Structure 1
Amino acid sequence: MQYVEVEKKYAVADVEALKTRLRRLGGKPGEPTHQVDQYFNAPHRDFLAPDAISEWFRVRTDERGSSINYKRWLPVDAITKTHADEFESMVDDVEAVRRMLQMLDFLPLVTVDKTREEWTMPTVEVAFDQVLHAGDFVEFEFKGDADSVEEATARLDEFIAGLNVELGERIDRGYPHMLIGREH
């Protein structure tokens, strides 16, 4: 399932309880990174026009480098999305990319400033995010082998349920949604 993302996000209730459980399951934390994600709107298609936003284009910078990312959440017309087509690539010169986007009339939408701590598990990546002006969250992304989105989702749900830790409210929207005040 290359280029397909299956993830679930929660407003984290007790960060330390969850980290303790992940450690007991053999999880390994990475070093926290400061990420600045700038989201853009396309000149040929308004990503904000539909009732439920289904597309984002992002430029990220952090201590490890810079990347560009396009994500299309599916099902496109559904309010609640189940997965996303995701295409991401590292870039050597992020300023050149920003200037290209400006010349092509891509308009900046919102900037998400966050600190992320990623934990590696056998089939799931767990990311703790402290998002400026939005709060604290945890994302679980399936990283194992699966034959379908349904299988990946079931295995992710099984992992989350097996944690036996109170996670908080499930969040079905991205950080850009939150910062621009969109529910969907």
Structure 2
Amino acid sequence: MVREIEAKYRVKDVEALLVVLKSHGLRIGDPVHQDDQAYAQPGWDYGMPKTGVVFARLRTTDDGRHLFTVKKPVSGEMDCIEHETVVTDREQMHDAIVEMGFRPTVRIVKTRRSGSLGSVSVCVDEVEHAGAFVEVEMTVGDDRDGMAAQAELDKVVRAWGVDVERTTDTYDSLVRAATATA
């Protein structure tokens, strides 16, 4: 079982964050545009707990690559069993996901710059309708305590000394909240 454990933070000054990351030896990649369609399992809706529920995502990047991802939160929204694969036809994959009973929820469009510090992946995201964020994540293949892993990730971010605000919401929830009030 592979799990992705992450911690996410709102960023007030992206350029200041990038300077700090560079000073810590992080080589950040070029911006990549990502267009994600999120899908919910039958019977789930916003406001309900996500733990134990299967969610799907269909992502297209600006190089024309399509990724199909399934996530199942374990101890919280930022601790998920994850499976991901490349697909060749976004439209056919969308139709297959809907045929399996999943329903499209929100579209998340973002620009992502990423890199890594040892075993920790770092993504600087500018998300349409939601703002700028930094995500730090690790992949674990054991039954490691998700909350303890998130505390480790939080120490990494706090050591940078950058003005950030932690959030436990996923991008789909953040975009949905932002667009529902617009």
TM-score (norm 2): 0.82
Q: CA RMSD in A?
A: 2.5
Structure 1 residue ranges, 4+ long, deviating more than 4 angstroms after superposition: 143-147
Matches within 5 A, 1:167-182: 167=164, 169-181=165-177
- Deviation string 1:51-106 (CA, Å, 9 cap, x unpaired) is 3233421111103411111111222xxxx545111111111222221122233443
Question: Which residue among 136, 159, 162 is the counterpart of 1:162?
Answer: 159
Q: For 1:181, what is the secondary structure of its paired residue?
A: helix
Match among 43, 57, 71 for residue 46 of structure 1: 43
Does residue 123 (structure 1) correspond to residue 119 (structure 2)? The answer is: yes
The reply on whether 1:139 has 2:127 as its aligned counterpart is no
TM-score where L is the length of structure 1: 0.82
Shift of 1:28: 0.6
Matched residue, 1:99: 95
Shift in CA distance, 146/63, structure 1 to aligned 2, threshold 3 Å: same
**C-alpha contact 2:11 2:133 (8 A) present in aligned 1:** yes
Provide the residue aligned with 2:56 in structure 1.
57
Partner amino acid, structure 1, of 2:154: D
Q: 1:136 & 1:173 partners in 2: Cα distance?
A: 14
How far off its partner does 1:156 sit?
A: 1.6
Specify the alignment match of 2:74 in structure 1.
Answer: 74
How many residues are aligned here? Answer: 174
1:111 corresponds to which residue? 107
Aligned 8 A contact 1:11 1:136 in 2: yes
Identity %: 30
Q: Which moved more, 1:112-121 or 1:80-89?
A: 80-89
Unaligned runs of 5+ in 2: none
